[in-house]
Amino acid sequence: MKSTTLTLITALLLALCAIPAVADIRVTPAGVAPLSFDSAPSSGDWTTLSVGTLATTYTSATALDVAVSTLNAASITAALASTGSWPPTVNTLARWNNGTGVGALRCLQTRASANDYLVLMAKLTNATGANITSFTVSYAWGQWHNRPVNESVAGHRTFYSLTGAPGSWQLIPALSVFDNNSPNQTLTATVNVGTWSPGTRLYLLWADDNGPGSDTDPKEGGYTLDDFSISNVLPAINHSFLDNGIIKIGADLGKGGAITYLSPSGTTNNIINNYDLGRQIQQSYYSGPQPYDPAGNMHPGWPNWPWNPIQTGDVNFNPSPLITHSNDGQTLYVKCTPKQWALNNVNGECTFESWITLSGKVATVKNRLVNFRTDTTQQFPARDQELPAVYTNGDLFRLVSYNGTAPFTGGAVTTFPNTPPPWLYFRATESWAALLNTSDWGLGVYHPGAVQFVGGFAGTPGSGGTYDSPTGYLSPIHQEVLDSTFEHTYTYQLILGTLTEIRNHVYAQPYRPACDFVFDTDREHWKFEQTTDAGWPFVNQRLRVSLNSGDPQMWSPRTAFRAVDAPKLYIRAAFQIANPAGRANGQVFWEKDNSGGLSQAQSLIFPVTADGQYHTYELDLAATGTWTGLITQLRFDPAFNGEPGDYVDVKAISSNPFAGNEHIAPTLTIARTNGDIVISFPTITAATAGFIGENLRYDLESTTDLTPANWQPVAGVTNVLGDGSLKSFTDPPSSPPRKFFRLKVRLE
């Protein structure tokens, strides 16, 4: 508590789920967009192999098919070399033509030589998050020598396999019918694969026999593939939609009910990115241990990853199973069992729920996490939580927010740089941020009370659709301790519109930053350094923090309230310290104006009473001279140190003197006696409420129509001193037929 260097450095850990290293050609629900091979294909996507050493080994398609059936995809590993020769020249392997020769095309080519045959293989991954039963493959096939060519087995024999194992290759007849006069053509085939599971591979293979032709006519065929695409991927996405005629939102019931669709009504302009199962708009939470790998199957691209269940599914494209869903046209509800992001098909021991409603251009979403972990009871340190994680398409690449020190005054917004992972962390002191296009239109995310945000952009700005890699990212952040048994609920809003419309909506909401943390049911986003609390659920509506350490600390979330609006801080707490001498002092630190550090100059030390009883500690922070500007974080050190069994029970840290005070519970009793209305209320003394040397005053007010400006003091029942007695007031029958009463309590 008395250290002189007090700058906080926090290690932030968020799943960069959007940017895994991807090998293979990804087959999304939209298929695969045409590959024109304008650049060299990746060896992770396309490979080749030369088999045998003699020409004319196979003189029939049947014989070649038998030979191909013995291949193992694991042995087909050679990268495609580059060539500019045209028409295709002989080689033992398939190659990529770089288009530099006269008349050459950028394409893939085969012309077998000095072997029995060669193969070209494509590796595809099911990135739909669902089983695929069939798809359509299409490409431009060419033969570029004089016809007829001289081949025993003309053209290509084309196969697929779900495993790549010997004996698994299945001929695709529609892509394998050629003769020595076959012209250039576009080939298309529907491939019925049975069940192609999400996250697994499928192999396509083209075999080119080394026939009897030479370099004089009739020559060996010179074959090419170009404009390769996949379409008609089945099954279709299973969405549940809400549409209010202004915006349309969809949750994918095959992927944990995550939000995978958001557009203006009447359009198909889905702004949500669905490149993999780590994008979308979804719940995502973090805790220890790190690494978390109970099944021993952590993805090599995500080593040392912590406990991290996410709503859509895992890095291996296993979707999170839905538990239940309802949609009455007004509220869309989903509940799922999430997957652990970095593991292979491992469920999180928790459930996620979401409730979605629409109003105008705004979707309001309430999320809930319920933990029931059996692997640990350990309380791990607080981690950043994505509340929620939001990924948009590449056209929404401008990250905008207000990060100044005068929130809700209409100050200039900031457009942040396009920052790829590791993402950019910034203060959003009005609790919103937006991803916009070049016309200032896009998606705003508003999370009342969240001041720390993270965001950025990866890929080429302005490019790509819902299944493409370029993506904008943003997330409101709170650091939270997630107990093994725990419930956490929060609400946020998605605003579809212009920057002006987004900010105007935020300004129209009732939330304004304040200093009012009441620990009756949860931690209010506070975290701990060098100590822990007693865990969740709370007992007796208080936060119990251990003092058995050197310099135990409580840190608030990032805040954004004005010092002038909270001149005093009230801490309602009970201290149990066995040996209080030299220890029974608390200290409060504050960061202001997003400065990023704490200091002794911005702190106040105060004595505490270590009697185990609740007291309200009144701290006149305005009198320090450094409690100014925008207060952007608090730190409370309850004691210098402690011993085993020492603790503090904290009910509230607030600018409200009555916060967390169980004694301050104004009640009104209204009864009718002989036509009169008799109103009574009990009072207490300030000392009873824990305020020494001060007074409690009670004011009764009335109105006939509940208009805020029309509340008026009741004559004779204002400035009533709290003395422990019951006070009464009689309203005569001549009063208006309907009247409302309220009781105010103040400290002086």
**Mean pLDDT, residues 622-637 taken together:** 98
Q: What is the pLDDT of residue 13?
A: 40
Assess whether 62 and 80 both reside in one domain.
yes
Question: What are the tens digits of pLDDT across the range 425-471?
Answer: 999 999 999 999 999 999 999 999 999 999 999 999 999 999 999 99
Q: What is the pLDDT of residue 130?
A: 87
Given 200, 234, 268, which residue is the final one in a domain?
Answer: 234
Q: Find out whether 461 and 469 touch, Cβ atoms under 8 Å.
A: no
Assess whether 533 and 385 both reside in one domain.
no
Full DSSP string of 656-676: STTTT-TT-----EEEEETTE
42 forms bridges with which residues in the sheet?
Answer: none
Rg (CA), the chain: 34
Q: Is residue 617 in some structural domain?
A: yes
Amino acid at 383: R
Assess whether 485 and 539 both reside in one domain.
no
Q: Is residue 154 in some structural domain?
A: yes
Encoding tokens for residue 428? 């959003």
The confidence band for 547, taking pLDDT boundaries of 50, 70 and 90, is very high
CA contacts within 13 A on the Cβ side of 9? 1
pLDDT greater than 70 at residue 740: yes
**Mean pLDDT, residues 355-369 taken together:** 98
Quote the CA–CA distance of 371 and 503 in Å, as a whole number: 35
485-498 and 362-372 as β-strands: parallel, antiparallel, unpaired?
antiparallel
Q: What is the pLDDT of residue 357?
A: 98
Q: What is the pLDDT of residue 19?
A: 41
Which residues have C-beta within 8 Å of that of residue 650, sequence separation ≥ 6?
519, 542, 543, 544, 545, 554, 571, 572, 573, 636, 638
Q: What is the pLDDT of residue 3?
A: 32
744 forms bridges with which residues in the sheet?
Answer: 699
Q: What is the pLDDT of residue 15?
A: 43
pLDDT greater than 90 at residue 7: no
pLDDT greater than 70 at residue 6: no
Which DSSP category does 287 fall into?
B
10 SS3 class: coil
**Mean pLDDT, residues 102-109 taken together:** 96
Q: Is residue 14 in some structural domain?
A: no
Task: Supply the CATH number for residue 739's domain.
Answer: 2.60.40
pLDDT greater than 90 at residue 366: yes
Task: Supply the CATH number for residue 458's domain.
Answer: 2.70.98
Question: What are the tens digits of pLDDT across the range 513-534?
Answer: 999 999 999 999 999 999 999 9
pLDDT greater than 60 at residue 5: no
Q: What is the pLDDT of residue 11?
A: 34
Q: Is residue 616 in some structural domain?
A: yes
205 SS3 class: strand
Mean pLDDT of the chain: 93
Q: What is the pLDDT of residue 706?
A: 84
Amino acid at 593: D
Given 462, 495, 512, which residue is the final one in a domain?
Answer: 512
Question: What are the tens digits of pLDDT across the range 460-502?
Answer: 999 999 999 999 999 999 999 999 999 999 999 999 999 999 9
Query: Can you tell me which residue has the tokens 């493959």?
Result: 137
Q: What is the pLDDT of residue 377?
A: 93
Report angle CA 620, 621, 623 to the nearest 5 degrees: 75
Quote the CA–CA distance of 352 and 336 in Å, as a whole number: 5
CA contacts within 13 A on the Cβ side of 188? 6
Percent of the chain with pLDDT strictly greater than 70? 96
Report angle CA 162, 164, 169 to the nearest 5 degrees: 75
647-654 and 543-546 as β-strands: parallel, antiparallel, unpaired?
antiparallel
pLDDT greater than 60 at residue 21: no
Q: Is residue 103 in some structural domain?
A: yes
Q: Find out whether 616 and 657 touch, Cβ atoms under 8 Å.
A: yes
Q: What is the pLDDT of residue 675?
A: 73
Amino acid at 497: G
Quote the CA–CA distance of 494 and 698 in Å, as a whole number: 42
Q: What is the pLDDT of residue 499?
A: 98
Tally of residues, the chain: 748
Assess whether 297 and 389 both reside in one domain.
yes
Assess whether 356 and 495 both reside in one domain.
yes
User: Which letter, b or e, does each residue of 669-699 get, where b requires 16 or more Cβ atoms within 10 Å of its Cβ?
Assistant: eeeeeeeebebebebbbbeebbbeebebbbe
CA dihedral (623, 624, 630, 633) in degrees, to 10, reads -120
Sign of CA dihedral 296, 299, 305, 308: negative
Q: Find out whether 273 and 266 touch, Cβ atoms under 8 Å.
A: no
What does pTM read for this prediction?
0.86
**Mean pLDDT, residues 704-732 taken together:** 90
Assess whether 673 and 700 both reside in one domain.
yes
Full DSSP string of 308-323: -EESSB-TT-PBPPEE
Q: What is the pLDDT of residue 236?
A: 62
Q: Is residue 390 in some structural domain?
A: yes
Which residues have C-beta within 8 Å of that of residue 486, sequence separation ≥ 6?
369, 370, 371, 536
Quote the CA–CA distance of 448 and 516 in Å, as a whole number: 14
**Mean pLDDT, residues 670-677 taken together:** 80
Assess whether 614 and 714 both reside in one domain.
no
Least reliable range by pLDDT among 12-16, 230-234, 545-549, 598-602: 12-16
Which residues have C-beta within 8 Å of that of residue 493, sequence separation ≥ 6?
362, 363, 364, 365, 444, 445, 446, 447, 505
Least reliable range by pLDDT among 171-180, 412-421, 484-493, 655-664: 655-664
Quote the CA–CA distance of 646 and 487 in Å, as a whole number: 27
pLDDT greater than 50 at residue 4: no
Q: Which of 161, 192, 162 is nearest to 174 (CA)?
A: 192
**Mean pLDDT, residues 59-73 taken together:** 97
**Mean pLDDT, residues 3-25 taken together:** 43
Q: What is the pLDDT of residue 16?
A: 43
Percent of the chain with pLDDT strictly greater than 90? 85
Assess whether 595 and 730 both reside in one domain.
no
Q: Is residue 24 in some structural domain?
A: no
The confidence band for 156, taking pLDDT boundaries of 50, 70 and 90, is very high
Q: What is the pLDDT of residue 734?
A: 59
Assess whether 49 and 173 both reside in one domain.
yes
Assess whether 576 and 616 both reside in one domain.
yes
| Residue 393, domain extent | 239-512
Assess whether 411 and 462 both reside in one domain.
yes
pLDDT greater than 80 at residue 245: yes
Q: Is residue 206 in some structural domain?
A: yes
Work out how many domains the chain is built from and give that number. Answer: 4
504 SS3 class: helix
Q: What is the pLDDT of residue 738?
A: 76
Task: Supply the CATH number for residue 531's domain.
Answer: 2.60.120.260
Quote the CA–CA distance of 676 and 227 in Å, as a whole number: 89
Task: Supply the CATH number for residue 196's domain.
Answer: 2.60.120
The confidence band for 733, taking pLDDT boundaries of 50, 70 and 90, is low
**Mean pLDDT, residues 687-716 taken together:** 88
Quote the CA–CA distance of 492 and 259 in Å, as a whole number: 13
Full DSSP string of 103-161: T--EEEEE-B-SSSEEEEEEEEEE-SSS-EEEEEEEEEEEE-SPSSP--SS-S-EEEEE
Given 234, 253, 281, which residue is the final one in a domain?
Answer: 234
Quote the CA–CA distance of 492 and 499 in Å, as a whole number: 17
Assess whether 425 and 555 both reside in one domain.
no
Q: What is the pLDDT of residue 737?
A: 65
Sign of CA dihedral 569, 574, 577, 581: positive
